């Protein structure tokens, strides 16, 4: 069963969209985007470990991490 998500979408330009979301709905939003998935958490942990070890790669977007 899905729950409602209260947010406002504000189009700021033709290339960017800004959304406003309540703190109470932030967890629901993250879950809907897949940010709590085990695979995503593992990618973040691996990236943090590499960063601590000095292996830093400049990224243009979060999507680049997911393409690995």
Q: In this predicted model, what pLDDT tens digit does every residue of 5-59 receive, in sequence order?
A: 777 777 777 788 888 888 888 888 888 888 888 898 898 899 899 889 988 878 8
Q: Indicate if the pLDDT at residue 68 is higher than 70.
A: no
Q: Give residues with Cβ within 8 angstroms of 36, minimum separation 6.
A: 30
Is the four-CA dihedral 26, 58, 60, 12 of positive or negative sign? positive
pTM of the model: 0.45
């Amino acid at each position: 069963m899905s729950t409602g998500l209260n947010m406002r979408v504000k189009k700021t330009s033709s290339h960017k969209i800004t959304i406003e979301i309540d703190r109470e709905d932030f967890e629901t939003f993250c879950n809907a985007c897949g940010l709590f998935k085990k695979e995503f958490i593992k990618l973040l942990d691996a990236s943090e470990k590499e960063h601590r070890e000095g292996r830093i790669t400049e990224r243009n977007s979060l999507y680049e991490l997911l393409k690995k």
